[in-house]
């Protein structure tokens, strides 16, 4: 069959998953009366709740005799590892760009990766029906981006379509009739080359994604490079250096048909399939016939830049809400995650109950923690820290990120000031239409930890900030951390409304009345720079004399909302976030005040 393999790549929220929905509908993959969820490709709970794509997923549509395999990719830079490895599965990419926002950092990242592989992108300028759309300017910006990324003359001659994914149409020009997605389907068939394959050679395939299926075991998805895969045929797997991992048989061969995975008897080179039957093989390994001796080359993946320590929860409230609390359970879960996620690294530490997990950013690690707490795990998480390097001259190097900020002109001053305090350098400042200014900075990754919520406060919630790993540069010196101290509980029990009311002058609270607290737990932010131990268990002294207004209801200010990402960004080095299926608590690493003072004296002396 005539076949095309394409990936849809773009910055976050530029409409990739919505576009896949439309392609599935207009190709006849659904019945007319079939109930299909919006953003059908975002299948897990966290993707639906947050409205983002986290995992790359495959689907397939049949258009007038041509099978088009489509890979939907994440737009967040934290999940860039998903995009990097699936690009080896496809022969073309559709680069989606918002008609108002234009090319943003992740657009640059994914486009750069695809141009290096020699792919010739199709550019789709999406959301042209937005009131602030500027499609012609964005088209010029995309061309400039291609040129800046050293595209070849052939790649610079890219075809462009203007579209509205939500309304289900694409057109070759802004004046052309706006009917359906036919122009896009025809352009894919015309512009994207069919897979160049050797059907007669022995079967080989590179595993690019991994998932666990409760019935079939390990499912390894990839594109068949050469030969034919048949159900029940003998196969083996090899690592990137050619070592044999295991031998086995294809117990199930699955092909993508619309949103379904369908069992097939055989599949030929060029098709994207999922294989069951192997127990140890993982991402970037070669699956092949026993006669093959050379492994397939896998794409190199950018290194992780941020690490956190995941340890056993040892607070006085440990084990009350979760059922997976031992270090063995936590270790097994982290190792399983690292197998399928190539951008994540797990390392055991000197402490048997703690593991260092390194990834691309706070969001990626936050999603992992959120998934684990929903599965019943209890954890203590340390403050994120950047991974420093030493170059050949012995100089300390730290990761730098490119930050693109879109803000109203009135807030540009405060943003420039805050980022320069965090050792950021401004590269560019230009108007971006509608009274907004686009600022581009290079900022150390450690300076951005915890800045997102401060940025939203400074810009009254109207600013947009996008980040992308840029590279390593010389260490830029100390950056001032949190200015305020914290309020720490000095006893164990349940917080009392009267005590919280009396403490409101000291600073905003993080807990509500009735919340369980323990000695060393952080219950609020101090208005001064030092930490303060307080009693939140002290009730009102009752007397036998009643006076008017004596028993009025206590009115408390709404406590600070500490989501998981906010909590991770808020804590300092000597603090931890306690994560359980029902609660997120902040605490001191050392719960006993005497231990904390002793540790502080040792630190000052040392």
For residues 182 and 373, give the distance between their C-alpha atoms in angstroms, rounded to a whole number. 44
For residues 295 and 288, give the distance between their C-alpha atoms in angstroms, rounded to a whole number. 9
What value does the mean pLDDT take over residues 487-497? 91
| 3-state class (DSSP) for residue 229 | strand
| 3-state class (DSSP) for residue 566 | helix
17 is in an annotated binding site: yes
Which of 19-23, 66-70, 244-248, 488-492 is the least confident region? 19-23
* pLDDT tens digit sequence for 405-414: 888 888 999 9
208, burial (CB in 10 Å: exposed 0-12, middle 13-18, buried 19+):
buried
* DSSP at 196: -
Count of Cβ atoms closer than 10 Å to residue 536 Cβ: 27
Spell out the domain ranges in the chain.
2-191, 204-288, 389-474, 486-541+554-605
* pLDDT tens digit sequence for 296-326: 887 777 778 889 999 999 999 998 998 999 9
Which of 115-129, 497-511, 547-561 is the least confident region? 547-561
For residues 240 and 297, give the distance between their C-alpha atoms in angstroms, rounded to a whole number. 7
129 is in an annotated binding site: yes
Alpha-helical segments (H) within 428-563? 445-448, 451-458, 497-503
14 is in an annotated binding site: yes
Residue 98's nearest CA partner among 82, 75, 72, 65 is: 75
pLDDT band of residue 543 (cuts 50, 70, 90) is: low
pLDDT band of residue 47 (cuts 50, 70, 90) is: low
For residues 514 and 528, give the distance between their C-alpha atoms in angstroms, rounded to a whole number. 26
For residues 576 and 351, give the distance between their C-alpha atoms in angstroms, rounded to a whole number. 16
List residues bridging with 92 in a β-sheet: 6
Show contacts of 253-259: CB within 8 Å, 24+ apart. Answer: 253/229, 254/219, 255/60, 256/58, 256/59, 256/60, 256/69, 257/29, 257/60, 258/24, 258/29, 258/30, 258/59, 258/60, 258/61, 259/24, 259/29, 259/36, 259/40, 259/41, 259/59
Q: Look at residue 552 in the predicted model and tell me its pLDDT.
A: 55
List residues bridging with 557 in a β-sheet: none
Q: Look at residue 327 in the predicted model and tell me its pLDDT.
A: 92
CATH number, domain 204-288 = 2.40.30.10
For residues 55 and 14, give the distance between their C-alpha atoms in angstroms, rounded to a whole number. 16
Which of 75-79, 358-362, 395-399, 454-458 is the least confident region? 75-79
Which of 13-27, 37-51, 144-158, 562-576 is the least confident region? 37-51
Looking at the chain, the whole-number percentage of residues with pLDDT higher than 70 is 91
CA dihedral 46, 49, 54, 60 (to 10 degrees): 110
For residues 38 and 36, give the distance between their C-alpha atoms in angstroms, rounded to a whole number. 6
For residues 592 and 510, give the distance between their C-alpha atoms in angstroms, rounded to a whole number. 20
Q: Look at residue 84 in the predicted model and tell me its pLDDT.
A: 73
236 is in an annotated binding site: no
* pLDDT tens digit sequence for 184-228: 999 999 999 888 888 888 999 988 888 877 888 888 888 898 899
For residues 519 and 503, give the distance between their C-alpha atoms in angstroms, rounded to a whole number. 17
Higher pLDDT, 542 or 230: 230
Higher pLDDT, 37 or 173: 173
Q: Which residues contact 263 (CB under 8 A, 6 or more apart)?
A: 231, 252, 253, 254
Residue 287: which H helix or E strand, with range?
strand 286-288
Within the chain, how many helices (H) and strands (E) appear? 15, 35
| 3-state class (DSSP) for residue 519 | coil
12 has a pLDDT exceeding 80: no
Provide DSSP, 51-89.
T---S-EEEEEEETTEEEEEEE---SGGGHHHHHHHGGG
284, burial (CB in 10 Å: exposed 0-12, middle 13-18, buried 19+):
buried
What value does the mean pLDDT take over residues 530-543? 83
Q: What angle do CA 244, 249, 252 make, to 5 degrees?
A: 130
Q: Look at residue 548 in the predicted model and tell me its pLDDT.
A: 46
> What is the CATH architecture of 389-474?
2-Layer Sandwich (3.30)
Residue 579's nearest CA partner among 354, 400, 322 is: 322
Residue 38: alpha-carbon gap to chain centroid: 21
542 has a pLDDT exceeding 70: no
Q: Look at residue 50 in the predicted model and tell me its pLDDT.
A: 63
Choices 2.30.30.100, 2.40.50.250, 3.30.1360.30, 1.20.5.510: CATH for 486-541+554-605? 2.40.50.250
pTM above 0.85, yes or no: no
Residue 121's nearest CA partner among 192, 171, 59, 169 is: 192
258, burial (CB in 10 Å: exposed 0-12, middle 13-18, buried 19+):
middle
Higher pLDDT, 121 or 470: 121
Q: Which residues contact 459 (CB under 8 A, 6 or more apart)?
A: 407, 408, 411, 414, 415
Tell me the three-class secondary structure of 139-169, residue by residue.
HHHHHHHHHHCCCCHHHHCCCEEEEECCCCE
What value does the mean pLDDT take over residues 510-531? 92
Q: Which residues contact 442 (CB under 8 A, 6 or more apart)?
A: 400, 401, 402, 403, 424, 425, 427, 470, 473
> What is the CATH architecture of 2-191?
3-Layer(aba) Sandwich (3.40)
Question: Is residue 66 within 8 Å of residue 264, measured between CB atoms?
Answer: no
Residue 87: alpha-carbon gap to chain centroid: 18
| Strand stretches in 376-459, DSSP E | 379-381, 385-386, 389-390, 396-408, 425-433, 436-444
Q: Which residues contact 236 (CB under 8 A, 6 or more apart)?
A: 244, 245, 246, 247, 248, 287, 288, 289, 290, 292
């Amino acid at each position: 069959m005539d076949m095309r393999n394409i990936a849809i790549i773009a910055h976050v929220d530029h409409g990739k998953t919505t576009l896949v929905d439309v392609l599935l509908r207009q190709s006849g993959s659904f019945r007319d009366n079939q109930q299909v969820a919006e953003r059908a490709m975002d299948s897990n709970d966290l993707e639906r709740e947050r409205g983002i794509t986290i995992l790359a997923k495959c689907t397939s549509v049949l258009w007038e005799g041509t099978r088009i395999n489509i890979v939907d990719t994440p737009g967040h830079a934290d999940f860039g590892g998903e995009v990097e490895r699936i690009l080896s599965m496809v022969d073309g990419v559709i680069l989606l760009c918002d008609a108002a926002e234009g090319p943003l950092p992740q657009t640059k990242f994914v486009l750069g990766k695809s141009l290096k592989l020699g792919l010739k992108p199709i550019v789709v300028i999406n959301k042209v029906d937005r009131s602030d759309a500027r499609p012609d300017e964005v088209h010029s910006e995309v061309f400039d981006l291609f040129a800046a990324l050293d595209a070849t003359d052939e790649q610079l001659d890219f075809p462009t379509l203007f579209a509205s994914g939500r309304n289900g149409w694409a057109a070759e020009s802004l004046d052309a009739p706006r009917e359906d997605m036919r122009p896009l389907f025809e352009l894919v068939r015309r512009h994207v080359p069919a897979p160049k394959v050797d059907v007669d050679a022995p079967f080989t395939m590179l595993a690019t994604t991994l998932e666990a299926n409760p019935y079939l075991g390990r499912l390894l998805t990839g594109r068949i490079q050469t030969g034919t895969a048949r159900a029940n045929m003998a196969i083996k797997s090899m690592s990137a250096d050619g070592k044999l991992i295991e031998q086995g048989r294809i117990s199930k061969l699955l092909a993508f048909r619309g949103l379904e995975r369908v069992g097939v008897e055989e599949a030929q080179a060029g098709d994207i399939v999922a294989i069951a039957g192997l127990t140890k093989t993982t991402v970037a390994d070669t699956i092949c016939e026993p006669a093959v001796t050379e492994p397939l080359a896998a794409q190199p993946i950018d290194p992780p830049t941020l690490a956190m320590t995941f340890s056993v929860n040892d607070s006085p409230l440990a084990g009350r809400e979760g059922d997976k609390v031992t270090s063995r359970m936590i270790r097994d879960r982290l190792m399983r995650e690292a197998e399928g996620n190539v951008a994540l690294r797990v390392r055991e530490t000197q402490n048997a109950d703690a593991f260092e997990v390194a990834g691309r950013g706070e969001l990626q690690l936050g999603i992992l923690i959120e998934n684990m707490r929903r599965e019943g795990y209890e954890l203590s998480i340390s403050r994120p820290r950047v991974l420093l390097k030493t170059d050949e001259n012995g100089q300390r190097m730290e990761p730098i990120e490119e930050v693109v900020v879109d803000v109203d002109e009135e807030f540009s001053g405060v943003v420039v000031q805050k980022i320069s305090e965090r050792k950021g350098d401004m590269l560019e400042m230009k108007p971006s239409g509608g009274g907004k200014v686009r600022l581009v900075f290079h900022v150390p990754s450690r300076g951005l930890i915890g800045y997102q919520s401060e940025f939203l406060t400074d810009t009254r919630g109207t600013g947009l900030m996008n980040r992308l790993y840029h590279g390593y540069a010389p260490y830029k010196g100390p950056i001032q951390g949190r200015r305020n101290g914290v309020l720490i509980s000095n006893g164990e029990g349940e917080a009392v409304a009267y005590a919280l009311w009396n403490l409101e002058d000291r600073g905003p609270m993080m807990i509500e009345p009735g919340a369980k607290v323990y000695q060393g737990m952080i219950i609020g932010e101090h208005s001064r720079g030092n930490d303060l131990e307080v009693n939140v268990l002290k009730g009102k002294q009752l007397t036998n004399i009643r006076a008017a207004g004596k028993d009025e209801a206590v009115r408390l200010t709404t406590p600070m909302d500490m989501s998981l990402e906010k909590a991770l960004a808020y804590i300092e080095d000597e603090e931890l976030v306690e994560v359980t299926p029902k609660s997120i608590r902040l605490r001191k690493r050392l719960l006993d005040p005497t231990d904390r003072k002793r540790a502080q004296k040792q630190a000052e002396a040392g």
